[in-house]
């Protein structure tokens, strides 16, 4: 860790730790097929906004300023699952811009409150509407941005799905960072795809260093990307799933399927249960998409004979999902965990008077 004083919080974005995953691998039902591999988590919640998206927020704003699209006092508009909004909001706070974010109703209340804490305006759209629908979060954000651009001439629509500054940042920064941390001794990189920026940018860089590094995408059941990769068209229509930040119902420009070697599908149940294990067994309170990616990594690696060093992207923090994955009742209500399993856990609240009788 660097001990220098930062000029602003923006200087602390990036250079996140790469942490060896141990107990969670040994306690997996697949443990005997995984013992010849090493798994490393790239822990992105060390970024000041709590996710990998701080990286692209800084890069997209810097590029927009350079192009003259965003000038002092301007407004940033984005359709975001929350994390990109947080990144943009903190960069905007430091640089003095206003922000309007449009997000689907399924996104957690913690994420919405945090966006508002940074001074942003939050607009909520219905969950599960098609991208072309005028009420989708993409359409609403676009409409607001177009109208503001016409009226003020100083509005930047970040457009993370199709803005190629996103993938470029991961090619310029995240890829080299991982390569340096592993000293080039790695065999596989696994991430999910929201916009595709992380996986595509990192993949492009790593493949240029060593074309044999395997690039794997973990996709939630319900996303269309797996079908597009294997069949070139949508076979199963997009379905609902609860993991936030990954999976798609359209193909973003930043998702370069040609750079990926393989896809693996993971269910909500697998992802949410593993999220809880990552916290209790590794001390890593990460979000469900991190566990989804790790579950995909373990399922994939169990079939790989060659001992491999596997880097697993862990995009954000579990603190944004306390009311969901770390809420026992929510897990049971959503059929993600059985009551008996939850009951055996230690994480129950007890009033001191009652507890003291045991001591
Ligand atoms: C919460 C979250 N945000 C972002 C990402 C990655 O995003 P992108 O494909 O947009 O780079 C992921 C993917 O793993 C994610 O889980």
**51 band by pLDDT with thresholds 50, 70 and 90:** very high
* Nearest-angstrom CA–CA distance, 214 and 227: 19
**What is the architecture, at CATH level 2, of domain 53-157?**
3-Layer(aba) Sandwich (3.40)
Identify the bridge partners of residue 98 per DSSP, sorted by sequence position. 75
* Nearest-angstrom CA–CA distance, 325 and 319: 10
Question: Does the CB atom of residue 175 touch ligand 1 within 6 A?
Answer: no
CA of 359 to the centre of ligand 1 (A): 46
| pLDDT (tens digit per residue) in 9-47 | 999 999 999 999 999 999 999 999 999 999 999 999 999
- Burial code (b: 16+ CB inside 10 Å, e: under 16) for 71-82 equals eeebbbbbbbbb
Neighbours of 183 (CB within 10 A): 7
- Per-residue pLDDT, averaged over 331-354, amounts to 81
Q: Which one of the listed residues 42, 53, 111, 324 is annotated catalytic? A: 53
In this structure, is the dihedral angle defined by the CA atoms of residues 91, 196, 24 and 35, taken in order, positive or negative? negative
Pairing, β 38-43 against β 75-79: unpaired
Q: Is 357 a catalytic residue?
A: no
For CATH 3.40.50.1100, the residue range(s) in the chain are 9-46+173-341, 53-157
Q: What percent of the chain has pLDDT over 90?
A: 74
Q: What is the pTM of this model?
A: 0.93
**162 band by pLDDT with thresholds 50, 70 and 90:** very high
DSSP 318: G
Select the more confidently predicted residue: 249 or 8. 8
Task: Determine the residue of 53, 245, 256, 295 to mutate for testing ligand 1's pocket, defined as the one with the most ligand atoms within 8 A of the Cβ atom.
Answer: 245
The answer to whether residues 19 and 43 touch, using CB atoms and an 8 Å cutoff, is yes
| pLDDT (tens digit per residue) in 251-298 | 899 999 999 999 999 999 999 999 999 999 999 999 999 999 999 999
Please, what CATH class does the domain formed by 9-46+173-341 belong to? alpha beta
Residue nearest to atom 14 of ligand 1 (CA): 192
* Nearest-angstrom CA–CA distance, 217 and 318: 21
* Nearest-angstrom CA–CA distance, 13 and 178: 15
């Amino acid at each position: 860790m660097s001990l220098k004083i930062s000029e602003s919080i923006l200087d602390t974005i990036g250079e996140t730790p790469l942490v060896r995953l141990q107990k969670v691998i040994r306690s997996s039902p697949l443990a005997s097929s995984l013992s010849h591999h090493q798994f490393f988590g790239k822990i992105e919640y060390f970024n000041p906004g709590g996710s990998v998206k701080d990286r692209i927020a800084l890069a997209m704003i810097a590029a927009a300023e350079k192009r003259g699209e965003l000038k002092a006092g301007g407004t940033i508009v984005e359709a975001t699952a929350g994390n990109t909004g947080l990144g943009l909001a903190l960069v905007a706070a430091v640089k003095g811009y206003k922000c309007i974010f449009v997000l689907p109703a399924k996104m957690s209340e913690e994420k919405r409150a945090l966006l508002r804490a940074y001074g942003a305006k939050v607009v909520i759209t219905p969950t599960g509407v098609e991208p072309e629908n005028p009420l989708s979060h993409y359409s609403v954000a676009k409409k607001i941005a177009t109208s503001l651009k016409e009226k003020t001439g100083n509005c930047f629509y970040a457009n993370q799905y199709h803005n190629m500054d996103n993938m470029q940042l991961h090619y310029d920064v995240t890829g080299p960072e991982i390569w340096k941390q592993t000293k080039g001794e790695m065999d596989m990189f696994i991430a999910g795809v929201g916009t595709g920026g992380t996986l595509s940018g990192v993949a492009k860089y790593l493949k240029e260093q060593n074309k044999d590094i395997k690039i794997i995408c973990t996709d939630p059941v319900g996303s269309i990307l797996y079908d597009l990769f294997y069949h070139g068209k949508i076979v199963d229509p997009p379905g609902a799933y609860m993991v936030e930040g990954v999976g798609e119902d359209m193909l973003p420009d930043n998702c370069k399927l040609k750079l990926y070697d393989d896809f693996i599908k993971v269910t909500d149940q697998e992802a949410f249960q593993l999220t809880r294990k990552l916290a209790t067994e590794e001390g890593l309170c990460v979000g469900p998409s991190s566990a989804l990616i790790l579950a995909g990594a373990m399922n994939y690696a169990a079939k790989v004979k060659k001992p491999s060093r596997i880097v697993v992207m862990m995009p954000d923090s579990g603190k944004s999902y306390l009311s969901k994955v770390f809420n026992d009742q929510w897990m049971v209500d959503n059929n993600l965990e059985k009551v008996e399993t939850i009951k055996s856990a230690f994480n129950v609240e007890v009033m001191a008077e009652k507890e003291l009788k045991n001591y």
